[in-house]
Amino acid sequence: MAEFKVAPADASTGEKLLTWVDNRFPASKLYKEHLSEYYAPKNFNFWYFFGSLAMLVLVIQIVTGIFLVMHYKPDSAQAFASVEYIMRDVPWGWLIRYMHSTGASSFFVVVYLHMFRGLLYGSYRKPRELVWIFGCAIFLCLMAEAFMGYLLPWGQMSFWGAQVIVNLFAAVPFVGNDLALLIRGDYVVGDATLNRFFSFHVIAVPLVLLGLVVAHIIALHEVGSNNPDGVEIKAKKDALGRPLDGIPFHPYYTVHDMLGVGVFLMVFSAIIFFSPELGGYFLEYNNFIPADPLKTPLHIAPVWYFTPFYSMLRATTDDMLLAFDAVVVLAALAAIVRGRFSSAVKLGIAALAFAALACFGAFKFTGLAVFAGFDAKFWGVVVMGGAVIILFFLPWLDHSPVKSIRYRPDWHKYLYAVFVVFFFVLGYLGIQPPSAIGTLVAQVGTLYYFGFFLLMPWWSRLGTFKTVPDRVTFHPH
């Protein structure tokens, strides 16, 4: 049993109370380990605002969600009317609802920027692989949470968007129909679907999300934060064991983050009060019409934060599969030629690449019965899912000798810039109705997206790299 601390006789009431708590719960210990004595690099820039902003938006979503649940009715006959009741009759209900809907899009904006910062500065590299994996799991969980929440208003786009996405699971060979039935809870999207999505959105997924956020922060504080230089600050310490290039997270970065929070809240409030629909991107106009199973909207598209991946799904055709297979084969060849693997592993990679080529060739040219269930729709689902899953493997795909983009060859920056452009283009095309030219551009973007990651073991080691400094570069304001 741990020895109890005793407060000094002349201690104030607050100090005595803190001592009493510390003897039963490690409040001061947690405060020191994660705030006042957690040393973060002193050269953080604006890219490091987005982690704390993600926490802020998570709190906003939880609090506003609690108040919305008080008045929402998860019943297909009353769901839409209950949302209208919240908007029109509940005092300040319109504000809570708009905060929640704007918060959903804000969450993805902040998380996408947070992930891109990790991509730029190599925050997924050793020893932070687990931090990145937890972050990708949070992203996957967030997508599930957003998809299930999107159905709840029971408007036209909610209903038909869920219909389209759930039917994608039916493309899985052999078990697809049963899987789609399990997700819907009925043969059509209806009351059973609404109830189970409501349960997952309000209880199950948030619990998993909170657990992953805690794991993400614990893993981060165990290994320490990365920085724009990619230099490990723990390598150089003073006589007291404090990093020479580190400063306590509190009060320095808690005050620093207030600037990001202030700017974010101004933009957030401006959207809520002046344009909560944001031109139909945050709240789609069709979703202000009650769900009607007998009237299909002219164009069904998911919310903007899903559209890059939806574009990849639509772009997957038979011809595009062969081009994608070529990327896989090139990635395998790069791994064989440049990878630091044993002969047996290289032989296995070559065998898998040959098998992939043979499978796609048989699917395309022979029409064998064994491939009959694996149509382009199924491969579209695979590509869409793979676009997210591939992010988990990023720590082992990047073989660059340096972490940060600052010290990589300049042409690497152009690769990243083209990646961002294609991601935006895919997002835009996912909102638009299908067209021949749009499909072609989406196919090029999809191939670039996967080529960026699959060929990374090869291209990330090419070029002349700059010398990484021993200490972080910091210029005080």
b/e string for 436-461 if b means 16 or more Cβ within 10 A?
Answer: eebbebbbbbbbbbbbbbbbbbbbbe
Residue 461 tokens read as 């080691």
What's residue 334's pLDDT?
64
DSSP-assigned letter for residue 400: -
In one-letter notation, the amino acid at residue 97 is: R
* Domain termination residue (choose one: 266, 296, 326): 296
Specify if 14 maps to a domain.
no
For the cut 80, the answer to whether the pLDDT of residue 109 exceeds it is yes
Task: Name which of 29, 216, 250, 56 is nearest 123 in CA terms.
Answer: 216
Whether 218 and 245 share a structural domain:
yes
What's residue 377's pLDDT?
77
What's residue 176's pLDDT?
83
Whether 232 and 329 share a structural domain:
no
Taking the CB of residue 80, how many other CB atoms lie within 10 A of it?
23
DSSP-assigned letter for residue 247: E
Specify if 11 maps to a domain.
no
Whether 343 and 251 share a structural domain:
no
Specify if 183 maps to a domain.
yes
Whether 223 and 87 share a structural domain:
yes
Whether 162 and 200 share a structural domain:
yes
Whether 417 and 450 share a structural domain:
yes
What's residue 193's pLDDT?
93
Least confident of 1-10, 129-138, 290-299, 313-322: 1-10
Largest CA distance in the chain: 88
CATH number for the domain harbouring residue 271: 1.20.810.10
Residue pair 72/152 in contact (Cβ under 8 Å)? The answer is yes
One-character DSSP codes across 262-292: HHHHHHHHHHHHH-TTGGGTSS-GGGGSB--
pLDDT, tens digit (0-9, with 9 covering 90-100), for 402-443: 999 999 999 999 999 999 999 999 999 999 998 999 999 999
* Domain termination residue (choose one: 261, 277, 296): 296
Residue 408 tokens read as 């990589």
What's residue 340's pLDDT?
58
Residue that is written with structure tokens 């070029």 in the block = 463
What's residue 320's pLDDT?
74
What's residue 16's pLDDT?
86
What's residue 164's pLDDT?
87
Q: How confident is the model at residue 208 (pLDDT cuts 50, 70, 90)?
A: very high
Residue pair 94/85 in contact (Cβ under 8 Å)? The answer is no
Q: How confident is the model at residue 2 (pLDDT cuts 50, 70, 90)?
A: low
DSSP-assigned letter for residue 246: E
Mean pLDDT across the stretch 141-170? 92
* Alpha carbons 143 and 121: distance in angstroms, whole number: 24
Specify if 472 maps to a domain.
no
Mean pLDDT across the stretch 13-20? 88
Whether 264 and 348 share a structural domain:
no
Q: What share of the chain is helix, strand, coil (3-state, %, to 5)?
A: 70, 0, 30
Residue pair 416/446 in contact (Cβ under 8 Å)? The answer is no
pLDDT, tens digit (0-9, with 9 covering 90-100), for 31-87: 988 888 899 999 999 999 999 999 999 999 999 999 999 999 999 999 999 999 999
What's residue 337's pLDDT?
61
* Alpha carbons 58 and 54: distance in angstroms, whole number: 6
Question: How many domains, in total, are found in the chain?
Answer: 2
* Mean pLDDT score across all residues of the chain: 88
Mean pLDDT across the stretch 9-26? 87
Whether 151 and 53 share a structural domain:
yes
Q: What percentage of the chain exceeds 90 in pLDDT?
A: 64
Residue 159 tokens read as 């209903």
Residue pair 360/322 in contact (Cβ under 8 Å)? The answer is yes
What's residue 318's pLDDT?
73
* Alpha carbons 286 and 176: distance in angstroms, whole number: 29
Residue pair 336/351 in contact (Cβ under 8 Å)? The answer is no
* Alpha carbons 303 and 284: distance in angstroms, whole number: 8
* Alpha carbons 238 and 234: distance in angstroms, whole number: 10
pLDDT, tens digit (0-9, with 9 covering 90-100), for 354-395: 666 565 555 555 544 344 446 677 888 889 999 999 999 999
**Domain membership of residue 247 as a residue range:** 36-296
Specify if 101 maps to a domain.
yes
Whether 93 and 234 share a structural domain:
yes
* Alpha carbons 154 and 277: distance in angstroms, whole number: 17
Whether 60 and 182 share a structural domain:
yes
Specify if 377 maps to a domain.
yes
Mean pLDDT across the stretch 120-132? 95
pLDDT, tens digit (0-9, with 9 covering 90-100), for 256-306: 999 999 999 999 999 999 999 999 899 999 999 999 998 988 888 889 999
Q: Which phi and psi (to 5°) does residue 155 adopt? A: -90, -175
What's residue 441's pLDDT?
94
Q: pTM (2 decimals)? A: 0.91
- Where helices occur in 49-128 by DSSP H, the ranges are 50-69, 79-88, 93-121
Whether 259 and 319 share a structural domain:
no
Specify if 13 maps to a domain.
no
Whether 283 and 318 share a structural domain:
no
| Burial grade of 54 (CB within 10 A; 0-12, 13-18, 19 or more) | buried
pLDDT, tens digit (0-9, with 9 covering 90-100), for 322-365: 776 666 666 666 666 655 556 665 566 666 666 665 655 555 55
Q: Which phi and psi (to 5°) does residue 474 adopt? A: -145, 130
* Alpha carbons 361 and 352: distance in angstroms, whole number: 14
Specify if 147 maps to a domain.
yes
Task: Give the gyration radius of the chain's Cα atoms.
Answer: 25
Strand 39-41 to strand 246-248: parallel, antiparallel, or no bridges (unpaired)?
antiparallel
* Alpha carbons 443 and 379: distance in angstroms, whole number: 13
What's residue 343's pLDDT?
66
What's residue 474's pLDDT?
78
